[in-house]
Amino acid sequence: MKRTDLAELGEFGLIERIKSKVTTSQPSTVYGIGDDAAVIDSGSHYTLISTDMLLEGIHFDLSYTPLRHLGYKSIAVNVSDIAAMNGIPKQVTVSIGLSNRFSVEAIDELYEGILSACKNYNIDLVGGDTTSSQSGLVISVTAIGEVAKEAVAYRKGAKANDVLCVTGDLGAAYFGLQILEREKQVFLENPNMKPDLIEHEYLVGRQLKPEGRTDVIHELKEKNVVPTSMIDVSDGLASEILHLSQHSGCGFSVFVDNLPIENKTLLMANEFKMSPITAVVNGGEDYELLMTISQQDYELVKSIPEITPIGFVTNEKNNILVTNSGEHVPITAQGWNHLTTQK
């Protein structure tokens, strides 16, 4: 029997392979595998369900990740998935696998972060599971949210001439990770050296303690605007654009000059001698929202300072970056593939 390495498929190829073998039979299952969250018909509204797993050595490094921040982040990344469906999170369950190298006090610290995030997003921790682990700390979170039936936003639905927008700024989390990795190496070479993180608080914070953009979802609701498509930026801008393109059957033109990049990100890109655009396009873990807005609705949302127009939807199937010199560069996904690389 032929053996296929997982790396040949990649994470998204594996998801598509699993999806192709799954059929749903429950009338209440509106949408299953393939978006940021599953959609369940609950009568008066849709219930949204999303699960994410964080593994030590793959998704986080405890040598520079405080457990409190890790607990907070584990909730925030799931909140982001609910927000990407234009929904509001309501409950979470948290399951953890851990070894005896963790003390009771360490787990208390982890849950301090989890509960802090729950308080911040006004969500309830309603259950979970605990088990032993021989491969380090494992955290699995399931988030449950709600959205009005007429307001749900999928990855599909983008139409030609829609405006492509993104929240916040991009690329900061990537450089936050580079700083942490650099300081770790300095420490390993000389344990007497203290990490120099204070001046990089914003970038490091974007990596260790990201926020799910429920604030923007509330603002869109206030203006009665529903994005035609939406996804959160977890694996890099390029990957997310290609997801929207694939699901919506359209192309995107993205203007490099329009990409929102914080000054601190620009300075750090210069220090690491790399293009900030590379970090923005392929870095990931910003957990901002990438959305398409109809021309008519864009008039209503352009006053929201957290939303930046970066391009538009085309009838073509190709996706391009338009540089400030007018050059057209094909968008390819070079972001983090969970099944071929490790952080």
3-state secondary structure of 175: helix
Span of 21-30, 72-81, 103-112, 328-337 with lowest mean pLDDT: 328-337
At 192 the pLDDT is 66
Instruction: Give the model's pLDDT for residue 336.
Output: 47
Q: What is the pTM of this model?
A: 0.92
Query: Does 10 score more than 80 pLDDT?
Result: no
CA distance 182 to 175: 10
Q: Which CATH number fits domain 163-330: 3.90.650.10, 3.10.20.90, 3.30.70.2750, 3.40.50.300?
A: 3.90.650.10
- Tens digit of each residue's pLDDT (9 = 90 or more) over 233-265: 999 999 999 999 999 999 999 999 999 999 999
- 116-153 confidence digits (pLDDT tens): 999 999 999 999 999 999 889 999 999 999 999 999 99
Alpha-carbon gap, residue 201 to 324, rounded angstroms: 31
Q: Enumerate the domain spans of the chain.
A: 6-151, 163-330
pLDDT value at residue 195: 66
The answer to whether residue 229 scores a pLDDT higher than 90 is yes
Q: Of 94, 95, 90, whose CA–CA distance to 48 is shortest? A: 90
| pLDDT value, residue 54 | 95
pLDDT in tens, 284-315: 899 999 999 999 999 999 999 999 999 999 99
Residue 166: the pLDDT is: 98
Mean pLDDT, rounded, for 12-38:
84
What's the CATH fold of domain 6-151?
60s Ribosomal Protein L30; Chain: A; (3.30.1330)
pLDDT at res. 342: 42
pLDDT digits (tens, 9 = 90+) for 54-101: 999 999 999 999 999 999 999 999 999 999 999 999 999 999 999 989
pLDDT at 97: 97
Is 70 exceeded by the pLDDT of residue 194? no
Residues 6+ apart with CB under 8 A from 45: 146, 147, 148, 149
For the stretch 305-341, pLDDT in tens is 999 999 999 998 899 999 999 899 999 976 445 445 4
pLDDT in tens, 152-168: 999 999 999 999 999 99
CA atoms within a 13 Å half-sphere pointing along the CA-CB vector of 132: 4
Instruction: Give the Cα separation of 322 and 71 in Å (integer).
Output: 39
Per the CB < 8 A criterion, the answer to whether 142 and 50 are in contact is yes
- Check residue 20 and give its pLDDT: 75
- Give me the amino acid identity at 247: H
First to last CA, the chain: 32
Name which of 25-34, 110-119, 135-144, 189-198 the model is least confident about: 189-198
Q: Above 90 in pLDDT, residue 196?
A: no
Of 120, 138, 121, which Cα lies nearest the Cα of 129? 138
Q: How confident is the model at residue 24 (pLDDT cuts 50, 70, 90)?
A: confident
